[in-house]
Amino acid sequence: MKDCTNNRNEFNIFGCVFDIPQKEHQRNELQKLTEAEDFWQNPEQAQEAMKRIAILSDELEPWLELRQKVHDAIELASLGDESLRLELEAEIEAIEAAIQNREFYAMFSGKYDRNNALLAIHAGAGGTDSQDWAEMLERMYLRWAERNGYQTDILDRSIGEEAGIKSVTISVEGKYAYGYLRSEKGVHRLVRLSPFDASHRRHTSFALVEVLPQVEDDHEIEINPNDLRIDTFRSAGAGGQNVQKNDTAVRITHIPTGIVVTCQNERSQVQNRENALRVLRSRLLELKQREQEEQMAQLRGEFQKVEWGSQIRSYVLHPYQMVKDHRTGYETGNTAAVLDGELNGFMEAYLRSQIGEAETSR
């Protein structure tokens, strides 16, 4: 019969690594604060405390349930009843799987990893081939979201002249959406026989994928209305009955940074304006984070500007079939499955590689 004490020891190790007792203490202290009569006198501070309690509970509950399961399994094993052997072994296997699952989710330790995400795809140089590649990536990520239970909403989409798209911005909503998708940020390279070349020659196409966390709290990024120039125009379309007769599309320019955001997918100007502000807030947050990272990297003497052409992943459809991530070395020959949204292997390999990097930099 398997030894339950190994599971208890493994749980205790993880409990120390992930500060479970400390997080329990933090949650208890915050819950005591909520019982005070003057707790809601400062609504902003109260809401922040409630949000922190919810985050801590979300982190703690699976661990506390797991701790109880380990305790119950040890109690069961101490009975020494051979008739319970199969039941106990099944329980131990379930505990081991749960520990591995919690170990994986502990990789989402970034400040915004739990947030919803904004995914933007931009066709690179290469004309129609690159625009077609951008549309293939759009479908790939929409299929990934569907497979993994995420809600998606296309906020803005610019159609290519002959085929494909020039760019698209997609809202992805669900738990850990940004935590997963941040692994996709960078240039994606496609090698294939071009369907748009009369000679059917091999072409290389590039597309840039941006991933931004959606910021829910306005105080994280403050936008001064005086810093905005807002223009409205008619939404672009393929023609026919769906062409908008009114100026529903919105373009917002943030004057201090020069960031321009457009949203035209909704039929209401108000909705497009709200979506554009949501995208602008995320872009300003990214700008702020990038400036901080560059300052820290320069202080450490390791700053290196990332240029557009450094691809993170290659998708080769000819002369052989292979998708390879150049950061982790993770690869697969099943290109059809990847382009149909099977991306979790690539994402998990990247997240695990980041843990290694974080440990080395400490």
Q: Would you say 132 and 160 are in contact if contact means Cβ atoms under 8 Å apart?
A: yes
User: Could you tell me if 86 and 27 lie in one domain?
Assistant: yes
| CATH number, domain with residue 91 | 1.20.58.410
Residue 112 lies in a domain: no
Domain span at residue 287 reads 220-300
| CATH number, domain with residue 282 | 3.30.160.20
Residue 239 lies in a domain: yes
What does the pLDDT read at residue 305?
46
CA distance 41 to 63: 33
| CATH number, domain with residue 143 | 3.30.70.1660
What does the pLDDT read at residue 11?
47
CA distance 295 to 300: 9
Residue 332: left (phi > 0), alpha (psi -120 to 50), or beta? beta
pLDDT in tens, the chain (362 residues): 445 555 555 545 444 445 678 888 888 888 888 888 888 888 878 888 887 888 778 777 877 888 888 888 888 788 777 777 788 888 888 888 777 766 767 778 788 898 999 999 999 977 899 999 999 999 999 999 999 999 999 999 999 989 999 999 999 999 899 999 999 999 999 999 999 888 888 999 999 999 999 987 656 788 999 999 999 988 765 443 444 556 789 999 999 999 999 998 877 889 999 999 999 999 999 898 888 777 766 665 654 444 455 799 999 999 999 999 999 999 999 999 999 999 999 999 999 888 755 444 43
Matching residue, tokens 């500060």: 19
What does the pLDDT read at residue 17?
44
Residue 142 lies in a domain: yes
Q: Tell me phi and psi for residue 248, to 5 degrees.
A: -95, -25
Residue 81 lies in a domain: yes
What does the pLDDT read at residue 156?
92
Residue 41 lies in a domain: yes
User: Could you tell me if 287 and 200 lie in one domain?
Assistant: no
Domain total in the chain: 3
Residue 237 lies in a domain: yes
Position 198: which residue type?
A
Residue 307 lies in a domain: no
Residue 33 lies in a domain: yes
